[in-house]
Structures are given as structure tokens and as C-alpha cells.
């Protein structure tokens, strides 16, 4: 495919991340004209020509004070529409954290499959491709979208972080059955990096309406260093349950590797809990809900800009994005 000149944009909410990705590519962001009106409406459009260009727009879709997930989605869709109206040849939405990704199926009668509706609105706005990072369920994500998609994984980045920090025998723990494949991919990568065997274990988890139960650990963690692997920490309840269960089964250390850190509700207490020795997350969502002390004591922030920059390079050169997963 013959691609036009590169233009990279980031809406104001993701300007810092957009700058980091552009810098990792040896480029700079193009300017966006954004205006907010007193009646709550918003306008955004490119401040320079995009005619015939290959455009990438960065917007991570998390909630923050004054800007809801829905606000950010609408702003992104409207900006993509403006780009297509301005004759951009191709528009790729770079969405490190994709809101509504967990709403990919019905769990009870008449429930909405919101991810599918989100996908349809991306496509209606003219989006040609979506790049995202560690969605909750890959099959659900791929089935929802009809435009091209690229799914990146933070596993190699988190493996790089933990490879030199884990002592003794290591066990990778999935906090529920739904995360087994993710945890297994992580375990294989970590074993290759360490050059030794890495065990696996599974946490029992049952959900009834909004209540979560189950405390059994399937697998041997006694006397071992545990690494809990998950895609998302929201309230932190899942990680807390797994950490305490592993401690009760004799784990000598418990760490967590999580892609997206939302840290809502009582999550700060979970991070500070002595049952958890450390937590590493990516900067797909800034940890603005945590105190500086909590971040300094327990949390490591892993930058994703180099990963997304390389993915964009591969797309523009018709290369392989899947090789970035390290499999």
C-alpha cells in the first residue's frame, strides 16, 4: 500500500502521551484547534492540511475529573470525522486504553453489547484502523470491529521490568479463568527471558451479580515468588484477593503486573496493602488517583510510547505488528 505523508495528532487530554509517541518516532505532533463552548459543545479540527496524508490520532479513553469517557469518545469521533472531511487518506485511532472493552457480550437478558456500538460509531466517523493495548477479551474486540485493528500487548514490557527483580522460584498467577491465556503467554515470555522454568497457578473466582467470591489457589505457590498478571486494575479487588490467597498459601513475595491502572474506589488501599510487594502498570492511564507516596513506595510506571511508535512504523512500512509481541 502506498501511504501518504505522516501526520500525528493528539487531542488535549492525551497530549503528553502523544508527544512521547511522536518523540519516540523522531517526529512531532501536528497542531489541533480545539474550542469548548459555554453550552458544553466542542469543536476540534486539524490546524494544517491533511489532504492525502496517513493520519494517526492518539486518545486514551479513561475517565478523569471534568472529562468523562463519553466526552473523550465524542471528541475523538468528531475529530476523526473532521480529518476525513479534510481529505485525509487514512485515519488510525491510537487508543491505548479502550473504554467499554469489557462490555463485549451479554451476561443477562436485554443487556447492551456496548463495545459493538462503540465500534460502529468509530466506523461511522470514518476510522480506517484502530490500535489498542491489552483489551479485556481479544476475540470480543476483534469481533466488534469491522475496520482493521491492531492489538498490542504490554507483556514484553512488563517481562523486561520484572526479569531482574524476581528472586527464587517464580509462579505466574492468573486471578481468574478468563485471564488464563494472557497469563500463560506472559509465563512463556518470562521463562524464556529468565532461562528457567516458571510455574503457573490460577485463582478461584465466582461472580454473582456484583458480588465476587472464591479464595482457592489452584497450583503450588508455597515458598515461591508470585507474579499476578492481569489486564486491568479498577477497584483492585481481584488483585487483593489473589495477593492475600497466595500469602495464605505460603508465597514469600507477591508482585503484580497489570497493563491498565484505573484505581477507582478503594484501589489506593489495595496498592498500599502489605500483602502486595510491588505493582507495575503501563502509562496508558496516568495514576492520578494515587498519592505521590503510594506511587513512590509500590508503583512502577512502564512507558508504552516506544511500543506504539514501533507499531506505527511497522504499519507504515507494511511490516509485521505481531512480531512486537515477542512470541
68-92 confidence digits (pLDDT tens)? 999 999 999 999 999 999 999 999 9
- Phi-psi bin for 124: left (phi > 0), alpha (psi -120 to 50), beta? alpha
Inter-residue contact 91 to 55 (CB < 8 Å)? yes
- In CATH, which of 3.10.20.30, 3.40.50.2020, 3.40.50.12500, 3.30.230.10 is domain 155-302? 3.40.50.2020
Least confident of 69-83, 130-144, 203-217, 291-305: 203-217
Mean pLDDT within 258-286: 96
The pLDDT of residue 146: 97
> Rounded to whole angstroms, how far apart are CA atoms 311 and 151?
10
Region 303-325 average pLDDT: 95
pTM for the model stands at 0.94
Mean pLDDT, range 300-322, rounded to an integer: 96
Residues 118-144, mean pLDDT to the nearest whole number: 97
DSSP, collapsed to helix, strand or coil, labels residue 184 as helix
Q: Is 38 left (phi over 0), alpha (psi -120 to 50) or beta?
A: alpha
Contacts of 296 (CB under 8 A, 6+ apart): none
Please, which pLDDT band fits residue 243 given cuts at 50, 70 and 90?
very high
> Is 205 labeled as catalytic in the residue annotation?
yes
Q: Which of 104-108, 131-135, 171-175 has the lowest mean pLDDT?
A: 104-108
Q: 278 falls in which pLDDT band (50, 70, 90)?
A: very high
Location of each CATH 3.40.50.2020 domain in the chain: 6-153+305-325, 155-302
Whole-number percent of the chain with pLDDT over 90: 89
Q: What is the model's pLDDT at position 295?
A: 87
pLDDT of residue 209: 60
Note whether 41 and 71 are within 8 A (CB): no
Question: What is the third-level CATH fold of 6-153+305-325?
Answer: Rossmann fold (3.40.50)
Question: Alpha helices of 46-91 — where are they, by DSSP H?
Answer: 69-85
- Structure confidence at residue 221 (pLDDT): 96
67 pLDDT higher than 80 = yes
Query: Whole-angstrom Cα distance, residue 77 to residue 99?
Result: 13
Which of the following is catalytic: 205, 224, 269, 298?
Answer: 205
Q: What are the distances in angstroms from CA 1 to CA 59, 145, 187?
A: 25, 21, 36
State yes or no: pLDDT of 206 exceeds 80.
no
pLDDT at 207 over 80: no
The grid coordinates listed for 8 are 500525528
Could you give the CA distance from residue 264 to residue 271 in angstroms, rounded to a whole number? 12
On average, the pLDDT of the chain sits at: 94
Amino acid at each position: 500500500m502506498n501511504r501518504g505523508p505522516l501526520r500525528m495528532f493528539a487531542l488535549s487530554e492525551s497530549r503528553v502521551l502523544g508527544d512521547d509517541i511522536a518523540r519516540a518516532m523522531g517526529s512531532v505532533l501536528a497542531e489541533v484547534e480545539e474550542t469548548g463552548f459555554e453550552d458544553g459543545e466542542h469543536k476540534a479540527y486539524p490546524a494544517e492540511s491533511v489532504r492525502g496524508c496517513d493520519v494517526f490520532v492518539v486518545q486514551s479513553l479513561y475517565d478523569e475529573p471534568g472529562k468523562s469517557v463519553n466526552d473523550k469518545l465524542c471528541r475523538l469521533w468528531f475529530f476523526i470525522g473532521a480529518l476525513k472531511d479534510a481529505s485525509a487518506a487514512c485515519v488510525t485511532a491510537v487508543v491505548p486504553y479502550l473504554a467499554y472493552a469489557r462490555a463485549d457480550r451479554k451476561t443477562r437478558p436485554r443487556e447492551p453489547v456496548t463495545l459493538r456500538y462503540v465500534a460502529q460509531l468509530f466506523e461511522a466517523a470514518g476510522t480506517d484502523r484502530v490500535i489498542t493495548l491489552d483489551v479485556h477479551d481479544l476475540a470480543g474486540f476483534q469481533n466488534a470491529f469491522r475496520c482493521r485493528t491492531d492489538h498490542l500487548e504490554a507483556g514484553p514490557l512488563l517481562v523486561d521490568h520484572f526479569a531482574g527483580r524476581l528472586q527464587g522460584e517464580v509462579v505466574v498467577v492468573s486471578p481468574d479463568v478468563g485471564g488464563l491465556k494472557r497469563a500463560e503467554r506472559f509465563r512463556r515470555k518470562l521463562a524464556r527471558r529468565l532461562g528457567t522454568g516458571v510455574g503457573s497457578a490460577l485463582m478461584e473466582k465466582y461472580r454473582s451479580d456484583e458480588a465476587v467470591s472464591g479464595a482457592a489457589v489452584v497450583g503450588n505457590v508455597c515458598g515461591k515468588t508470585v507474579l499476578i498478571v492481569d489486564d486491568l486494575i479498577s477497584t483492585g479487588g481481584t488483585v487483593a484477593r489473589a495477593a492475600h490467597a497466595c500469602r495464605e498459601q505460603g508465597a514469600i513475595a507477591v508482585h503484580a503486573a497489570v497493563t491498565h491502572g484505573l484505581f477507582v474506589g478503594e484501589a489506593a488501599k489495595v496498592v498500599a496493602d502489605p500483602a502486595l510487594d510491588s505493582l507495575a502498570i503501563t502509562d496508558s492511564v496516568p495514576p492520578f488517583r494515587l498519592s505521590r507516596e503510594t506511587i513512590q513506595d509500590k508503583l512502577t510506571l512502564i512507558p508504552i510510547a516506544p511500543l506504539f511508535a514501533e507499531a506505527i512504523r511497522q504499519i507504515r512500512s507494511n511490516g509485521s505488528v505481531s512480531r512486537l509481541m515477542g512470541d
